[in-house]
């Protein structure tokens, strides 16, 4: 199964968290499970992603939730509209991001993020994410994502839905 991010067109693939063209980035990959209506991202932090020794830096965890959410929004919207990402590479940006750190997240094990769209309405999608370390829920996130259109981010252009 191809990761959602790999459908992004090159001009939208430079993001530090999820752009496949950013050699220094995290380059996360999110997989969509249509039968469950859920997304999954797996990521193993590096030793330098440290908060205090033995635990993951919270800013990194927020980044993971952020980019995992944009991909979840694209996949959920595509499913809701009956579109294939191959033919319709939808792209979302984050309007709002809330992260609750429930427990310290241990540094070392692979992390699993599971996402669901709570609302798909027009160009807006609301995504809930749970992040697990060795099966323990340590972070919960909620994000509002807004679909962008061609030309978004270019000088003088207004945000545009697709
Ligand atoms: C910076 C990116 C550069 C370009 C590269 C792109 C590709 C890479 C992407 C990488 C991504 C990686 C991740 C990143 O790092 S993305 C980078 C961080 N994000 C940004 O820089 C986004 C900056 N913001 C904007 O451009 C605009 O505000 C956007 C496009 C988000 C909305 O402006 P727009 O005028 O188009 O939308 P609208 O006003 O018609 O609202 C639409 C709906 O959304 C709801 N809503 C809006 N805001 C909020 C809020 N704060 N809380 C709750 N809800 C909010 C609003 O109520 C409405 O809902 P409803 O009333 O219909 O129910």
**What would the pLDDT profile of 9-65 be if each residue is shown by its tens digit?**
999 999 999 999 999 999 999 999 999 999 999 999 999 999 999 999 999 999 999
pTM: 0.93
**Pocket lining for ligand 1, CB < 6 angstroms:** 12, 15, 17, 66-67, 70, 91, 93-96, 121-124, 144, 146, 148, 152-153, 159
Distance 12 CA to ligand 1 centre (A): 15
Give the start-to-end residue ranges of the domains of the chain.
4-148
Index of the ligand 1 atom closest to the CA of residue 153: 4
Beta bridge pairs of residue 106: 55
Distance 147 CA to ligand 1 centre (A): 7
Nearest CA to ligand 1 atom 38: 146
Distance 92 CA to ligand 1 centre (A): 8
Strand intervals (E) in the chain: 30-33, 38-43, 91-101, 111-121, 124-133, 136-148
Under 8 Å between Cβ of 118 and 127 = yes
CA distance 144 to 135: 26
Regarding the domain delimited by 4-148, which CATH topology (the fold level of the hierarchy) does it fall under?
Thiol Ester Dehydrase; Chain A (3.10.129)
User: Percentage of the chain surpassing pLDDT 90?
Assistant: 90
């Amino acid at each position: 199964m191809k990761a959602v991010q790999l459908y992004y067109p090159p001009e939208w693939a430079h993001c530090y968290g999820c752009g496949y063209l950013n050699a220094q980035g995290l380059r996360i990959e999110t997989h969509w499970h249509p039968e469950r209506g859920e997304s999954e991202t797996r990521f193993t932090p590096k030793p330098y992603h440290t908060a205090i020794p033995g635990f993951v830096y919270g800013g990194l965890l927020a980044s993971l939730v952020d980019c995992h959410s944009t991909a979840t929004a694209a996949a959920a919207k595509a499913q809701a509209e009956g579109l294939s990402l191959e033919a319709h590479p939808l792209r979302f940006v984050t309007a709002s991001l809330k992260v609750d750190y429930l427990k310290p997240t241990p540094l070392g094990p692979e992390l699993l993020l599971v996402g669901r769209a709570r609302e798909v309405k027009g160009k807006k999608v609301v995504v809930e994410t749970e992040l697990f370390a060795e099966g323990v829920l340590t972070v919960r996130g909620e994000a509002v994502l807004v679909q962008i259109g061609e030309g978004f981010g270019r000088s003088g252009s207004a945000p545009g839905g697709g």
